[in-house]
Structure 1
């Protein structure tokens, strides 16, 4: 009646927000990283004027207060917690807007696990639909509370503010049963939902190890895997892309190798194969042929449905005859037993286009972004020194053919792919 709640965080042309990580690492201390008009820490007579006391963290609590490259020295300490200097970090972008458990139930199985919130209206608990890695933070569940005109009619004199009480809980896999049997009337599908998060997938793919469980190559049955499945093999985490038949499977490193550039691809890929792969993995790698001079394609030759963020998904004229496009379209990575050599490679533009779509290795824009929100360059060059690249941030998952080929930063880089043969 008095406020409209804005759930999720999705703003055209803007990156996911940045925050200052908490200094309080004591799991028995319930004070959170609350800034601005906070009520987390009450001292003296209490924070009665909606301005003083209450805060436990630097900042004024407003949107976009923090940005990339920021830091804060908590010596003193100024705020509760360790006397260290923290660097700003970025929230994960949401793959889709927050939804109810019933809406989640109607999603295809391949879309049920990802970076988004699911709310159980039976209990009020909200769940992040993915496992969180170390130093990762969810996207916003609640972005704003906008007061309605009804509050003005109700409050004739004085002041008002909207307060939100937040309680968080972390559930480890061995606590699922304890949580499900706590006396609350949880949604009927919650047990399957939690199991899916633990497994990283919402379908049975045999006895394959869990996504974050580092395992030897012999532990995997790749014939039962489906596209987008994450798995960790011999110290490297991969994303399964497709079953190519004859025992061949295309996989890609889940996260791009940061601080590497398009012009360094050959060296980066060779180092990855020689230094990062164990001999057991090398023994499975199938031979492929990658031309020394890979095709280039000028970005200006490609047409798109419309301009703007999240729209550069597939070019509309990809299948139309054109000499330059014909060459780029033919650059598809396949096994070449006769002339190829076992190696790591970067996907071509043709590979990405072929693998993009529902039920494929890259089912949607967010699915094309590298692990931990990283951009990555393809092997297809653009015009001059530019390169075709999968973007991140405000343009996440978009195909861009004008990305500077010399760009090397902490937000992305080269993303090695492999074709492995499980019958070897």
Structure 2
């Protein structure tokens, strides 16, 4: 009965006000507001793009931010988003619609009502004006489950303030600021439905060779969002977290201003988890607007800045307004751990590995490394981010590891060489690897071998610091990779992948060995097989 009533209501609305498209709500997509700071004519390169995937037929609404930086100019960015709402109702017999908030004007988004959540409940609005929307609309924040996939922006012009708006979403600039629910303001491929982009198959890539969308005329593959570690929360709820849990892949909203902040620096080639996943109109709309019409819209304002200009996020909304000390502490933490940026070549002494997060990319000895794990007692496991020695077989892996460590990693200068090597923790000169039959293992979709513990020797082959061992580079074992996947250091299978397949040290049998392919999947092949890579790992002691 309720379904029939809703359907009848939508038909009435459609006939009464065509632009409302069946009585469902409309959206303005994005007014991307990238702050480009200049000091003495030196530009800060801030490669941020907001994505809006919206489909009015399903109500799906995905809001997130991408750092599209790829080259040497790319930097980590700080991100914030603010939502504002507008609603008007025209009941039967009324000549004109009435705005839900008297001071709001449909054609002027600056007058729309900022979403201000309650201090302990992000899903409920507070304040005289914002709380009026609770009666008609419920916003769905965050997204649980496995991180979805997205299509990276083709638009790498950091002075272009347009967002990546797909489906029924409308970029504010592209749509000329229209609020009519009809103007075309799309700037990005896709139909805006949930999980439109996929890891594989026909929706795992898009060829923009024809220039259909703003930006480069190239083909691109999909990428996976960062995995949401916590649901979006308010700054008060954030303050109640333990200090070790206060930063990561989640959103924090300031109830005083409505700004939602990403609780981590967004590194190049990363995309946040969803801030907003959907908006649902309540039954009150049907009950209170009988035989009438309504218009509901959300405006999304976004800002991305360099961490060097963090103070811009602390500027008061109104002159003389006090700064929230909680927000200041939060932003100081997000700003950074004091380590050099990922693309700045630095010495071991320049880093504070204690504050690094798994997956953090950094540059040392002119090469990119990935931080894997805090092993305790000042020991930290790292790995070269891309394999070396593309044409090497498994039998020559140890020789290549030694060559890389002595020739490519350690400096030639004897004094510097000694300083660098002092940071390298010793490991066993040889490892007891055993053998691990590939088809006897149970390999779960998340990349974890669930029955590894029944193979005593391979299971025990985890790399550890050995006080009387050798300072050297080593290849990871299956047990190492399995552990790092299970604990989240490789938080998704693709994190294990690289540009080519790379050898592990674990034999599969007398003539075969394990490896990881370019997508992060387990494989094995002949020891003598060439065209595989070696991926040196180190344990740093600090």
Determine the C-alpha separation between the residues in 1 that align with 2:389 and 2:228. Answer: 25
Question: Is it true that 1:296 corresponds to 2:428 in the alignment?
Answer: no
> What is the Cα deviation at residue 128 of structure 1?
1.2
Kept in 2, the 8 Å contact 1:91–1:139? The answer is no
Aligned-residue Cα RMSD (Å) equals 4.6
In structure 2, relative to structure 1, the CA distance for the partners of 1:273 and 1:136 (3 Å cut) is: same
- The 5 A counterparts of 1:16-415 are 16-23=148-155, 25-27=157-159, 29-40=160-171, 41=173, 46=178, 48=180, 50-68=181-199, 69-73=204-208, 75=210, 77-79=211-213, 81-82=214-215, 84-96=217-229, 97-157=231-291, 162-183=296-317, 187-200=324-337, 209-210=339-340, 212=342, 213-220=344-351, 225=354, 228=357, 230=360, 232-235=363-366, 236-239=368-371, 241-242=373-374, 249-253=379-383, 255=385, 257=387, 266=397, 269=401, 272-273=404-405, 276-279=408-411, 280=417, 281-282=420-421, 284-289=423-428, 291=430, 294-297=433-436, 318=453, 324-325=455-456, 327-335=457-465, 340-348=469-477, 365-369=487-491, 373-375=495-497, 379-380=505-506, 387=514, 403-405=522-524
Secondary structure, counterpart of 1:169 in structure 2: strand
8 A Cα contact 2:232 2:250, kept in partner: yes
Superposed displacement of residue 169, structure 1: 0.7
Which of 136, 151, 155 is the equivalent residue of 1:2? 136
1: CA distance between counterparts of 2:169 and 2:334? 32
Provide Cα deviations, 1:89-112, integer angstroms capped at 9, x if missing partner: 424222412222223223333332
Tell me the CA shift for residue 228 of structure 1: 3.9
| Alignment TM-score, normalising by the size of structure 1 | 0.69
How far apart, in 2, do the equivalents of 1:260 and 1:95 lie?
Answer: 34
Q: TM (normalized to structure 2)?
A: 0.56
Point out the structure with max Rg over C-alpha: 2
Q: Say if 1:168 and 1:371 are closer, same or farther in 2 by CA, change over 3 A.
A: farther
Q: Which runs of 5+ in 2 are unaligned?
A: 1-134, 412-416, 527-532
Aligned length: 376
The one-character-per-residue Cα deviations of 1:212-256 (angstroms, maximum 9, x if unpaired) are 35421233466xx357475543333342734666xx734212746
C-alpha change, 1:185 and 1:232, in structure 2 (3 Å) is farther
Deviation at 1:166, TM superposition (A): 0.8
Q: What SS class does the counterpart of residue 405 from structure 2 fall into?
A: helix
Per-residue CA deviations over 1:185-229 (Å, capped at 9, x if unaligned) read: 6643222222222223xxxxxxx634535421233466xx35747
Give the CA deviation at 1:331: 2.5
Comparing 52-61 with 157-166, greater Cα deviation is found at: 157-166
- Which is richer in strand? 2
Measured against aligned partners, the alpha-carbon deviations of 1:335-377 in whole angstroms (never above 9, x if no partner) come to: 5576x54432234455578xx7xxxxx6974334379844588
Say whether residues 1:418 and 2:511 are aligned partners: no
Q: CA deviation at 1:64?
A: 3.1
Give 1:405 deviation, angstroms.
2.8
Q: Which runs of 5+ in 1 are unaligned?
A: 201-207, 357-361, 394-401, 408-412
